[in-house]
Chain A
Amino acid sequence: MMEKQNKELHVKNRTELWYNIAKNIAIVTAVLAGILSVLMIANFIQTKSVDPLNSQAISQLMTKLQENPEDTVLIEQIRALDLLARKAYFTHQWQIRTGSYLLFTFVLILLLALKYMSSLAPRFPDLTKGPETEKTWESRLLSRKYILYGGLGLVLLAFVLGVLSQTELKKIGIFQPQKNQATSGYASLKEIRDNWPGFRGPEGIGWAYHTDVPKEWDGPSGKNIRWKIEIPYPGFNSPIIWGKKIFLSSADRRRQVMYCIDADSGEFLWQRELNDIPGSPERRPQVTEDTGFAAPTMTTDGTRVFALFATGDIACLDFDGNRVWAKNLGVPENHYGHSSSLITYQDLLLIQYDQNTGGRLLALSTLSGDMVYDQPRDVEISWASPVLVNTGKRDELILNSNPFVMSHDPRTGQELWRVRCMLGEIAPSPAYADGMVYVVNDYARLAGIKLGESAEMVWEYIDDLSEVSSPLASNDYLFMSASYGTVTCLDNKTGERLWLEEFEEGFYSSPILVGEFVYLMDMSGVTYVFKADKEFQLISRNELGEKAMSIPAFMHDRIYIRGTKNLYCIGE
């Protein structure tokens, strides 16, 4: 009996000894682990704030070096800093690694000690108290209550989350295929053709899809003139229309303005002056009187409008006139004044920026104005505007310049084909119909270019050539108007002349195809309507009442013409 008790005591003492040893080990390792953790956290915070591989100090020194490339002291400084930075980075890596392993070891030992200590203390219930199983019902009741609340809470949370998340996207229409434009991101071809979004209409080829328009009107007497409104400052750009909004821009030596006018009432919805664009030149460049400072026609993609001025300022406003972005592209080297109009392709704003210093095709993001590509072109200066059509297999951006007419992929700017056929100062824009491109310039030729495996000129015509007015191609015919008053109609497949008519005044505006008719306005504002046919048949001659150089816009059952002073709305 005594032996057994002695043995028990001996064992008890031994275990107490081990317990104390374990306790001490635990304390030591805990302290060590604690110190190490603090060190590692400090290390982490330090490297978070200063990333050795992207050091501010080094970048600043590098910019200095750009100015003085031969400064050896600076070079030495940079090299020393760089070495330090790299060393710091790798040391930090090493520190993390070693620190983690060390910390792990300490924690492991700590845990072992603690585990040993806790295993020596078994958990027994307090047998003086009952097992308290009668509490089970209460706890069940409680559980039911809380689980029910928990479930309802979860559902409520989920519901709120589900409802809240829908609001912004719902306004846009989520991803459902709907008819309105915003959901698919870009305006569809149908929407583009339903409006008048740029120079010479949708796609820039002079085709109007709203054909139910008046054939007769008279400015001086007011017949079929619904309204007219004076446009404050001068501008030769043509009106563009989306929905019920008409957009114009004007500029003179002192100011640049963009306007929005309501198509029904003919009243200004807003006017915005654009005088504080970053990068805008102090002094306006020289331009000629018949080009002005606001020659390029605006364009719109359905949510925003874009305008370019002779200063190289380009601005983007939304339909309510709020500025989205504006910048300066660099003053164009253009002795008459820049006149190529703007056009959009999906999310890109395309600019034909051909100047005396060389040709360029620019693409800016419509959202931010950031340059997406800047494609140099092997051409000289041009005043023509882009045409953007689907030529069967692909979308092509076709630009007319000296000496080439070139086609580009609007998405990347890469050149697709070129044909050498132009000379001189190019102002007329290309025409397109049915797989053929038509370009013209005075002293060069009128060329019919067939697209296919490669583009080639299949016919040319050299009489009564246009120098400003852009040609118009219908499915069968080609119409060319000149600034000295002639209008020529040719068979567009063969280049054979079908008829030639002479008019009193010359044409700067370009002919527009409206169904079976052609509407063509001369410099005095008189619009001739004739049949788009192999025989000349004049339908009507309509006076405006003032001079006009712009392209009329055709929308719904109305025509909008910008004269030198006023904007007219013609309709029944």
Chain B
Amino acid sequence: MKLKKLKIFFVALALLCPVFVYSQVQERFPKPDFESGYVRPDLLTPAPRSVVWEYMDILVLVAALSLATYFAHKLRSRRNIFLLMVFSLVYFGFYRKGCVCSVGAVQNVSFALFNLAYVIPLSVILFFALPLIFTLFYGRTFCAAVCPLGAIQDAVVLKPISVPEWLARLLSMFPYVYLGLAVLFAATGAGFIICQYDPFVGFFRFGADFNMVILGMSMLLLGTIVARPYCRYLCPYGVLLNWMSRLSRRHVRITPDECNKCRLCEESCPFGAIKKADEETQPMKKETDVKQLAVLFILLPVIVFGFGWVGSRLDISLSRLHPTVSLAEEVLLENAGKRTEMTDATKAFRATGKPLEELFAEARAIQTQFHKGGWILGGFIGLILCLKLISLFIRRRQLEYDVDKGTCLSCGRCFAYCPYEQVRLGQMTPEELKELDRRDVSIKQFRA
């Protein structure tokens, strides 16, 4: 017995060339019969999280969304929103390790729509849809108190600066690009880039590679002075929430009553979501602008088409991020003599014996998908660009200090600045309000 094994062993040694092992399970040695009464131990198979907890997550989500809405609209209490935010940070962030989150759920939905083989879990659908529905009715209360990514950024806001308007508008174009790319990559199966580049999930998991740690730390450090940078200038889900929020029937307002344009709330929003009231003498239109607007309208289809065309031209470079395409490319380059060594991936592929033509056909199909998707992505971005520019020509008279429905996160920081709020809370009488000398506000009056 032993000699035979030794012989096999030495023959194996002799063939010490890099034989490519393709996991062939061969019973080379017979299974023993034990005489001493030894019993083989069982293989332990620890189970993953039970499905009960998944339903629990959904319940907690619904409860948190409802509470957030209640706190923002009915109670109008910043403190309660803050506490709920801390709870969400702990539950959805550190306990559930930030996964699955509503921001990432966009990708799962895109993937499910274009890949019938992928079975999307119920909780993911609800994590995608519920915040949108709530926002559609009540504004972005999700952002304020439920989203763990938002919560961790909110937790580090210390000395927020106000970003110049033009810069804020420019940067807020980026989430559209990010959303478009994320949907494209998810739909084609190339990968989930939101998850890959999520700066905060590393903190939630207490585990990330070096680059992710650096990214996360930088984002948080930035977040101490630029409040919620990811939420405002990166979050792709925020695009959808922005749209929903703009259409919302009931949105939080700064004042519970009316606005007397006392200006006390002007600097209260760290996110720059407050629209100031116009002075009566403001002119609303300029002559030259009308001409430029007309030109823009005419150019709109050209821009959309042009962007779409450029997007379609990106099919080769973007499709490379798909593992099948990059494998096919590698194999092609190797066969054509442009590479001197094979990679693990190509070796593994060649060992499967799958015909090359099949791989190339798959790669071609994916590139076609990227081609079509690129048209849509480009067109989408072009359209958004034009709409944004058009909106910058049009201005409605702003009669009072109010929130920007699209970007207001319903965090409730501005409530306490409003004297009408203080009347509502009973800290001031209506008479005192009328005589309010704004230059004389003190800390005591402010802290509710």
Q: Which residues of A pack against B, CB within 8 Å? A: 8, 11-12, 15, 44, 97, 100-101, 104, 111, 114-115, 118, 120, 122-125, 127, 131, 133-134, 136-137, 139-140, 142-148, 150-151, 154-155, 158-159, 161-166, 168-169, 172, 174-177, 182-186, 303-304, 318, 324-325, 346-347, 365, 367-368, 370-374, 411
Contact = CB atoms under 8 A, between A and B. Distances in A.
B200 interface: no
Given A131-B276, A146-B166, A166-B316, A373 B19 contact: yes
14 contacts: A15-B443, A104-B206, A127-B438, A131-B266, A143-B170, A150-B173, A154-B177, A155-B307, A175-B361, A185-B331, A185-B356, A325-B340, A367-B334, A374-B17
B401 to A, nearest CB: 9
Contact of A133 (B279, B286, B311): B279
A127 B439 CA distance: 7
A167 to B, nearest CB: 10
A172 to B, nearest CB: 5
B388 interface: yes
Given A139-B165, A147-B169, A150-B173, A101 B206 contact: yes
A303 B307 contact: no
Nearest to B171: A150
Contact of A143 (B169, B177, B316, B441): B169
A328 to B, nearest CB: 14
Given A155-B306, A304-B337, A374 B267 contact: no
A133 B278 contact: yes
Interface stretch (B69-77, B152-160, B233-241, B248-256): B152-160
Contact of B363 (A142, A154, A175, A372): A175
B376 to A, nearest CB: 14
Contact of B389 (A12, A127, A144, A303): A144
A11 B443 CA distance: 10
A33 to B, nearest CB: 12
A163 B266 contact: no
A131 B259 CA distance: 15
Contact of A185 (B263, B332, B339, B364): B332
A147 B170 contact: yes
Interface string B140-176: 0000000000000001101100001111011001000
Contacts of B306: 155
Contacts of A186: 335, 356
Contacts of B389: 144, 147-148
Nearest to B203: A104
A136 B385 CA distance: 20
Contacts of B268: 122-123
A92 B281 CA distance: 68
Interface in B274-326: 276-279, 282, 286, 306-307, 310-311, 313-317, 320
B276 A120 contact: no
Contacts of B350: 347
B42 interface: no
Contacts of A165: 316-317, 320
Interface of B: 15, 17-20, 155-156, 158-159, 164-167, 169-170, 173, 177, 203, 206, 210, 263-264, 266-268, 276-279, 282, 286, 306-307, 310-311, 313-317, 320, 328-329, 331-342, 350, 353, 356-357, 360-361, 363-364, 367, 378, 381-382, 385, 388-389, 392-393, 395, 416-417, 438-439, 441, 443-444, 446-447
A159 B385 contact: no
B357 A184 contact: yes
A148 B296 CA distance: 11
A134 B406 CA distance: 23
B209 to A, nearest CB: 11
Contacts of A172: 332-333, 336, 338
Contacts of A15: 443
A123 B307 contact: no
Nearest to B350: A347
Contacts of B388: 147
Across the A-B interface, the 4 shortest Cβ-Cβ residue pairs: A162-B313, A165-B317, A185-B335, A142-B166
A347 B337 contact: no
A159 to B, nearest CB: 5
B266 A374 contact: no
Contacts of A114: 158
Nearest to B333: A172
A372 to B, nearest CB: 7
Contact of A169 (B166, B206, B313, B316): B316
A371 B314 contact: no
Contact of A161 (B278, B314, B331, B392): B314
A159 B313 CA distance: 7
Contact of B310 (A124, A140, A159, A347): A159
Contacts of A184: 356-357, 360
A540 B350 CA distance: 49
B166 A139 contact: yes
A352 to B, nearest CB: 17
A139 B164 contact: yes
Contacts of B438: 127
Nearest to A319: B337
Contacts of A168: 333, 338
B158 A371 contact: no
A143 B166 contact: yes
B310 A162 contact: yes
A146 B170 contact: yes
Contacts of A127: 263, 438-439
B42 to A, nearest CB: 27
A436 B95 CA distance: 69
A162 B317 contact: yes
A122 B364 CA distance: 59
B337 A303 contact: yes
Given A169-B316, A367-B342, A125 B263 contact: yes
A185 B374 CA distance: 28
Contacts of B335: 182, 185-186, 303, 347, 367
Given A44-B210, A147-B169, 20 more contacts: A8-B444, A111-B156, A114-B158, A115-B158, A118-B159, A125-B263, A127-B439, A136-B282, A143-B165, A143-B166, A147-B388, A150-B170, A158-B311, A158-B313, A161-B317, A162-B317, A172-B336, A318-B337, A324-B340, A371-B17
Contact of A122 (B314, B329, B393, B446): B446
B158 A125 contact: no
Contacts of B443: 12, 15, 120, 122
B290 to A, nearest CB: 14
Contact of B336 (A131, A182, A371): A182
B206 A175 contact: no
Contacts of B314: 158, 161-162
A218 B306 CA distance: 68
Contacts of B444: 8, 11-12
A374 B15 CA distance: 7
Contacts of A145: 166
A370 B367 CA distance: 32
* Centre residue among A145, A147, A346, A371 by max chain B CB count within 10 A: A147
Given A158-B311, A175-B364, A125 B266 contact: yes
A371 B20 CA distance: 10
B54 to A, nearest CB: 27
A532 B52 CA distance: 80
A185 B332 CA distance: 6
